Structure 1
Amino acid sequence: MDAGLAEAAARRLAEAGYHPRVVAADGEDGWAPEAPYDRVLCTASLQRVPFAWVEQTRPGGLVVTPWKTTLQPHGMVRLRVADDGASASGHFDQPMSRPLRPGAPASRRALGRGRMARHHRLMGVRPGRARPAVGPA
């Protein structure tokens, strides 16, 4: 994000009554000056989780982000940081939802209603790995 975009975002959020810290920096590096965090939430789809996020999340904290690979075009990963802070592990879930359709009854538009994700994968993130380890649950 560039500085001008960050300033505009901060101004618009303030006009709406919100006053978060807005930082123009490389998201892969996280934001170490205010770490550790209870949660790191990302809204961009990733193919690897930056280890800096694990390092900047307190033990027991969560890293949550959309996940995308060549074979899996969409999903969500939720990693819990280990007690020693040296790794994180969790699950990859494929969301069981469908796009909203204009004119469909509200009950048919409910996302994932009454269903759990069918595909779960255990995964972990450790220093020095280009991609998280992925294996069957």
Structure 2
Amino acid sequence: MNRLASWKWLALLLMVALLIGLGAWCATRVYRPQLEELRQQLAESRRGAEASLLVLQKQNAAMVELEARAAERARQGELLQARANQAAQQDYAAATRVMLEPSPAGVDACEAARLAFAEELRRERAP
């Protein structure tokens, strides 16, 4: 009897193992396509993330370059503005000097100013 009982337990154990194996095989047949699809989606997502990161890095590099160019243009603009202000000061001083010259008696003020400015231009352009 003992021997018969051990065979029953062995048969039951083999049956349980067979059922577990069959269940695992069925589960893999059902879930494997889903897992493969998810793996492909994950790979595509990673490729997309890497591409986005590369684009972002390029954009950051372009922004840094644009900021450097803008800073250089601002510096050049300040230098040009300082030169223009200096030139304008010289011109303003010359215009003030011309306007302070006394006008000849009996001459129209507008005509005297025109003659004075014409004389100043002649002096500036003379070699």
TM-score by length of 1: 0.14
TM-score by length of 2: 0.14
Larger strand proportion of the pair? 1
Structure number with larger C-alpha Rg: 2
Work out which structure has the larger RCO, using CA pairs closer than 8 Å and 6 or more positions apart in sequence.
1
Larger helix proportion of the pair? 2
